[in-house]
Amino acid sequence: MKVFVTRKIPQVGLDLLAQAGHMVEVSELDRPLTRDELKQKVSGVEAILSQLTDKIDEEILDAAGKQLKVVANYAVGYDNINLKDAETRRVLITNTPDVLTDAVADQAFALMMAAARRIAESDRFARAGKYTGWQPFLLLGQDVFGKTLGIVGLGRIGSALAKRAAKGFSMRILYHDQKPNAELDAEIGSKNVEMDELLKTSDFISVHVPLLDSTRHLFSTKQFEMMKKTAVFVNTSRGPVVDEAALLEALKKGDIFGAGIDVWEFEPKLTAGLSELPNIVITPHTASATIEARNNMSKVAAENIIAALKGEVPPNLVKLV
């Protein structure tokens, strides 16, 4: 059957699809396709292997045609896909959870460390030739070891971050989630608390929620004002979960100490003024960008397509809730 891959991904998954006997076309353009290009390319295919930069809605699904069985997103998040439109057309949606959990948790930890210890700022300072010798007050940051980490959204990635922080850095773990995790609580002494308590008492706050109507601008002026002035805020989830203008103000006014963001509200554009601030570390949506994670995401996306085209339930079927 025909599979269209909207952008080049690691070869392993493409090989699996070919070995399963499918006809695979990979977009030759090393950029996101326009709506028109996407509509044209998906016409007549049974499966689409999509990127989080592809908006998949009724227009694209209808352009594909009634034979379309599955859209396999090359990401754990799937806010780029309209699940209702897919369900109405009986198109299965899959994602790539688990295989990127550790990579993203590592990056969240790296951003915490980088913002707390002013690593990027120190690097810029050193490269600019500003170092004149050891100084008692040069680039002072915040301790990480033994501090309190507040995790908003304790799914796979949030839990993986919690374990790193508790076991490696003796941090006290607070979290806010609809579901408490008794097993994790027993293992590392974590505690599910109200959002306000988490915001007021955490030294580090890391966000791990999906982008939903209910999580859009979950962090805005009010939330930043509730945080400690010494707090470090980290976002590796989705940009629009944070009101970026409010984050800019909070960093400027000193409502918080620093921030590390891997996802931006208006990707690929950064809110004006953010890049001039010394106390934010910015990575370009690369939290899952390890060689291992990306190879595994390719494999998992292919396995989801192969199962769906056999008429089986794919391993990572996303359900409409």
Active site residues: 238, 267, 285
Of residues 174 and 256, the one with the C-beta less far from ligand GLV: 174
Smallest gap from Cβ 235 to ligand GLV, in A, equals: 11
Contact present, 103 and 258 (Cβ < 8 Å): no
In angstroms, give the least distance from the CB of 317 to ligand GLV: 14
Residues 46 to 105: which contact ligand GLV by CB under 6 A?
52, 75-77, 97, 100-101
Among positions 13, 141, 150, 155, the unique one binding ligand GLV when judged by CB under 6 A: 155
302-311 CB burial, b ≥16 within 10 A, e <16? bbbbbbbbee
Distance CA 59, CA 62 (A): 5
Applying CB under 6 A, what is the total number of residues that bind ligand GLV? 13
CB of 115 to ligand GLV, least distance (A): 20
Please say which residue, 1 or 302, places its beta carbon nearer to ligand GLV: 302
288: contact with ligand GLV by CB under 6 A: yes
Taking CB under 6 A as the rule, does residue 239 contact ligand GLV? no
Residues 244 and 220: beta-carbon distance below 8 Å: no
Nearer to ligand GLV, 60 or 154 (CB): 154
Beta pairing class for 280-282 and 258-261 = parallel
Residue from 156, 163, 191, 200 touching ligand GLV (CB under 6 A): that is: 156
Out of 164, 176, 208, 228, the only residue in the binding site for ligand GLV (CB under 6 A) is: 208
**Cα–Cα distance for residue pair 281/300, rounded to 1 Å:** 31
Residue 158 and residue 175 in contact, taking contact as beta carbons nearer than 8 Å: yes
Q: What backbone torsions phi and psi does residue 235 show, to the nearest 5 degrees?
A: -130, 115
Nearer Cβ to ligand GLV, position 157 or 259? 157
What is each CA distance from 283 to 98, 140, 145, 207, in whole angstroms?
Answer: 22, 22, 23, 15
Pick 190 or 279: Cβ nearer ligand GLV: 190
Site membership for ligand GLV, residue 157 (CB under 6 A): yes
Cis, peptide link before residue 240, omega less than 30° from 0 = no
> Which range of residues in 26-34, 60-68, 154-162, 298-306 is near ligand GLV by CB under 6 A?
154-162
Query: Residue 124 belongs to what H/E stretch?
Result: helix 119-127
Rounded-to-integer distance, Cα 118 and Cα 122, Å: 6
Give me the residues that bind ligand GLV (CB under 6 A), please: 52, 75-77, 97, 100-101, 155-158, 208, 288
